Amino acid sequence: MERLIKWIREYRFSVSEPPIISIEGLFSLLLLLLLSLTAVFFHLVRIYFDAPVDFSMDWNLFLSWIPLLLAFVANSLTKRFGKIPVTVILISMVWLAFFPNAPYMITDLAHLTVDYQRDLTWHDTIMLFIYAEVSLFNGLVSLYWIHQSWRHVFNRSVSTFLLVISLPLAGFGVYLGRVRRMNSWDIVHNPLDTISNLFESVMDRTALVLSLEIGIVLGMLYLVLWVIIRFRVRYSNR
């Protein structure tokens, strides 16, 4: 019995090759799921005491999970199989089409009606904030994972360029969704109108402003996330 207990204590599980799905990635998804359920709880409270908020918040929150899961798959595959450029490019194209859904929920704050004597004003403020916060978390983590997959497949210059260009493109996607009322699947469902809207939007000053400002916000938040994850303090013994 003592030998068995000793063997259990000293046993270490190991694999010869990294698994396709890592425990670290699943743990991150679990935490983000918990945050999403917290946001939905605030909406359920709103429904119970008054009426549902017709902002399609839950649907938009679901859409923010699509780029997260795509980036998770891309990062897991590149860690397991190395350089698979065709697969990563295809996943990245679909990821970019859905990535604007993450920062899109920031614009839902425009629906707020301010009445300082009304309790629901404060509840709605917190509720909209947490929906936007969770969506941003999903977007930033997806950006980190897809960036890691780019770094595995391409050189540093190419991966950095893809990262930088994806930020204003996300802002442009938010403009298309909020102002032009377009959806991510319009690319497949109605490609001709999509192309027409794209050409018209490129010359729109609001599109330029929204693209740059959301790109800057995402860039700064991603920089903070990157530094927190990558920063390490190493002490030397003297």
Q: What is the pLDDT along the chain (238 residues), one digit of tens a residue?
A: 566 566 556 655 444 444 555 667 788 899 999 999 999 998 888 888 766 566 688 888 999 999 999 999 999 999 888 888 999 999 999 999 999 999 998 888 777 777 767 767 788 888 889 999 999 999 999 999 999 999 999 999 999 999 999 999 999 989 888 887 777 666 666 777 777 777 777 778 888 888 999 999 999 999 998 888 877 655 555 5
**Angstrom distance (rounded) from CA 166 to CA 59:** 23
Q: Which residue type is seen at 45?
A: V
Quote the number of domains for the chain: 1
Task: Tell me, yes or no, whether 238 lies in a domain.
Answer: no
Q: Where are the alpha helices (DSSP H) in 50-155?
A: 57-81, 85-98, 101-104, 119-153
State the pTM of this model.
Answer: 0.81
- CA 36 vs. chain centroid, Å, equals 12
Task: Tell me, yes or no, whether 218 lies in a domain.
Answer: yes
Task: Tell me, yes or no, whether 236 lies in a domain.
Answer: no
The DSSP call for residue 50 is: T
Range of the domain at 128: 20-230
The DSSP call for residue 117 is: T
The DSSP call for residue 20 is: S
**Angstrom distance (rounded) from CA 201 to CA 225:** 31
Task: Tell me, yes or no, whether 2 lies in a domain.
Answer: no
Q: Which two tokens stand for residue 79?
A: 């860690």
